Structure 1
Amino acid sequence: MLGALIAGEQDPRVLADLAKGKMRIKIPALAEALTGHFNADHAQLAGSMLHRLERVEAALAELDAVIAEACQPWEHQLELLQTIPGVGEKVAQVILAETGGDMSRFPSAAHLAAWAGVAPPSYESAGKRRPSGSRHGNKWLAAMLVEAAGSVGRMKGTNYLPAQHARLTARRGMGRAAVAHSILVSAYYILLRDEPYRELGADWLARRNTEAHTRRLIAQLERLGHTVVLDPVA
């Protein structure tokens, strides 16, 4: 890349063609922006910056290899965690590293979420629970879970987690926090039960609310002395 940069210092099209990813659709605009404003001094400075970035990327790749080797004893658990939407290798590694992978240490998924700092704290007064600001927890684990939730937010389809993110973001602007909590709860049961992620479907919450409402109505009628027999509509 450095050689191409120096060789193309007088040709904006060569420089623009170095663009990667989403920037490639802007190559004509990049070439126009570089015309008449990029000389040999600029090429030297940019080349030095690219050389530093290449050394940093090489060091990161080396560290990734060391971490992957250290995680070999937990290869099975890593594979299970990566069945959760939005959870890649690095997020799975952080979940294992920060929790130890032994979910029996936590009495419940709620305790794990509170320990990690992805369950909002609340206080109870007069029988009502209200949120009470942010919770302190494991900042490294919480940060990776929020990053994974961001990946979920960019997904489309009929999966539960993207649907949860879209619904809560539209309603309260808190989609990432809620999905981060759901991801960690899923990780808890996956590691506890030694089984992959089970997809609930985008309509799971609506189905659960309908079933709960039905049970409440049945209980209310039974308290009034009625026997309830359900005959679902075909």
Structure 2
Amino acid sequence: MSNHRRTAPIYLQLARKIQDRIDSGDLPAGSRLPSEPELCAEFDVNRLTIRQAVAELERAASVEIRRGVGTFVRVPIARVSIAVDPRSQRFDLGSLTTAVPRGTAADAGDVADGGERITAVTPAPGTPADVGAAGHLRCDPAELSRLESVIVIGAEPWGVSSYWLKSSLLPEELSAPGRVDNVVRVLAQSAGIVLEYDWRAFSAIGADIGDADLLGVPAGTPLLVREGVSCTPDGEPVLFVRRRINGERARFVLNFRPDGEG
């Protein structure tokens, strides 16, 4: 055991011992942790230490505290890697096509198997975000519609997206809240166009109240942001998207050498 582990506070040492049991499968997902009195007796510590250890595990998303019921091991969070090869990945087929694994849980509301749920479709109201999108799409904000969606993997929301496009291009399938398999593909197929990446930018923010509510996370939770313009093959901008993803559930990978190179 490292010196750090030997000198760590008692509650952290206890949290790591419980985490080891979770990792080994001794405490499988969905199982209930022993009660506070049982843990106090087993580890010869007081209730405050137990509560500090459990709070640490909850902060790490390893357990879920159900008030009045007990503490349960959480199902492992699905972490999605979105690989981008800037020399070969040109066509925008929608991130869900290959990046998001298909879910199997039935308890996903009206979204399952990696689809999207459109939550709102409105004319762009002229906020700074709408004005910024209009600048990227080289048009007046009054020409745009804004579409909001939630992406779900299994039973948990994975990300929220805001899409801007000219209202004249908005297909009927995307004109009202409801489930769709993939917003980008529906748009491309309905308009009869091929969409290509023009540019993408990456950043990180803390979840605001709206995004936090949709993602089921506390306000301020780190979110990965992926935004940019998709265009036609001749460079005409068609779509601006701003996607916010739970920072615990995804990572972006840029591969600068094609497969086969050392």
TM-score, length-normalised on structure 2? 0.25
Which structure's residues are more often strand, by fraction?
2
Larger Rg: 1
Q: Which has the higher contact order (CA 8 A, sep 6+)?
A: 2
Bigger share in helix: 1
